[in-house]
Structure 1
Amino acid sequence: MIEAAKIWNEPNNKSHWDIQLDPDWARFAETAIAAGKAIRSAHSSLPRVLGGISPIDPAFINNMQARGVLDHVDAVAVHGFPLDWNLWKIDEWPAKLAEIQALVALPVWVTEVGVSSFGADEVQAWGLRRTTELLNGRTPRVHWYSLYDLPTAWEATTRHKEAEGSSYYRHFHMGLLREDGTPKAAAELFPQYASAIGLCQWFHFEDHRLGEAVRWLRRLGVRHLRTGLSWADSFRPDALAWFDRQMEALAEFDVTVTFCFTPEHRGIAPHHTSPPLDVNEFADFCAGMIARYCARTGVAETRPASMEPTLCAP
């Protein structure tokens, strides 16, 4: 079941949004507003979440608020990786979260948090335990990143690749499971925390891991899952068949679906981080996916003040 629609992923990170083409994020604001309106037109009450920001930057949230973006979403999200990429300590999580909560009247979700096993599996296991302790009860939703390690034959979505040194290679060690599917120490711990923390797992087009991933999600006791549907992938042959297979496989979980990635031929520049030429094309993609996979329609439902997400059946 779909519990929320997320608009883009890390829009304030140059690896996911071309800041050189949109240095003040004015184009992103137009994109997010158009998507927020389109999702609302497709479903009367499904929560819309502003793409998780990384780094956690109050100035970016103030920018979005000034441009009217927060009038068209129901929550904002943050991402944090203090043991791998951020320049702050893990014990600062409550303060980092409170910094954004103080700026907005909306709930603040943590839609990606994680610790790599780059140095040692035990570090990741400790990080899972400590992160859950720090965030439990402070936010409506937390998603651990991720279920699987990124396969070494694939590329991490980042600008400078191997030139980033160990920062780049840490991307390949974020999973509870290794590339071959064997569990790490953190996977053994995760079921203890599954009631408090969900998972994030991106599936590539026609991802061979989908079936086994579902079996692991069940085994780990996962209820809340975050994944993505790529606008860029929607132009591939048989894209809808893959999207249907992915969403059907994940139907038993409460899914936050993230919409992002620009098709090369629909961007201002020919790459997936480019602002779209026409923001309404991205908005139409979002609305179409919600209409296809979220069947509930009709009278809008009233969400309680706690913003417990309204679920819809795919």
Structure 2
Amino acid sequence: MSNLATVLNVQRFTLHDGPGIRTEFFLKGCPLRCDWCGNPESFNRRTEVGVFHNKCITSQHCGSCLDVCPSPNALIFSDASVQKVARDQCSSCLACADECPSEAIKQWGQSMSIDECMRLIRKDKGFYQRSGGGVTVSGGEPLLQSNFVLELFKLCKQEGIHTCVESSFFANWNRIEKLLPFTDLFISDIKLMDSQRHKQHTGVDNRKILNNLKALSQFDKEVILRIPVIPSINDDDDNMEATADFIVNELNGKVKTLQLLSFMRLGEEKYHSLGLTYPMKDLKFERQTFQTRVNQIAEYFIQRGVHCTVGTKEKGD
């Protein structure tokens, strides 16, 4: 049993990942590095700090972070404001984030217990009951902390609460299998069908993901699939045809809905806050032309007999 998880964020009253009004827990840590990910703060499982130098008020004689930092070389300043963290010098004590009055230094992630999560969930049970909602666990990659998800969902089901996992499905099957009795809805991406292209743009090949989806299709579970449609990366005819073939021929009609999520340039400031380069900085595309293409892709899937909707990619991957 795992009683603690590293939680990146909790969103209450969300409507995006599962039916009805939901409480959604975003767990920290992800084995993928998708080029288009808008949430780089979810990559590492450990709690860490991000720096937003434009919020710094050191020029107004603040200096709170310097007063509490135990590593004098960890915080790097320029033009009278904090610019970044020397992560090889940082002890991750988070004292600077706790002390910063302007949130120029932000804590990414916190440790939460099952009891803490359930206290939040129980506050919203009336909304679940009236709207057909429930609890969603997302990421990052929630299956990295699958024992915590299991224990949380066991308690949810004891109280009659609908449960949903949103996952990349890049995990050993046993991590998914143990959740089956306690999970009402699974949401997963299909990013690219070609394994080499998938590895090029996400850091991993897709064989484990596709095998897990095929294994899940043998069970009576509701499944929603998503394609994050990225211009010049996976919006070509060959990839969409291969994806349709896989859904129609391999997944036993178990996909309730395919959602196309149109790429939006998000998260660039968060990459900078972590000292990372934004992978999509050189991507250029015309928004209206791209959206027309996404709508054409949706029509293709509908013609193939797949219920398909179009949205925007406002979350991670």
Could you tell me the TM-score, scaled by structure 2's length?
0.43
Higher relative contact order (CA 8 A, sep 6+): 1
Larger radius of gyration: 2
Could you tell me the TM-score, scaled by structure 1's length?
0.43
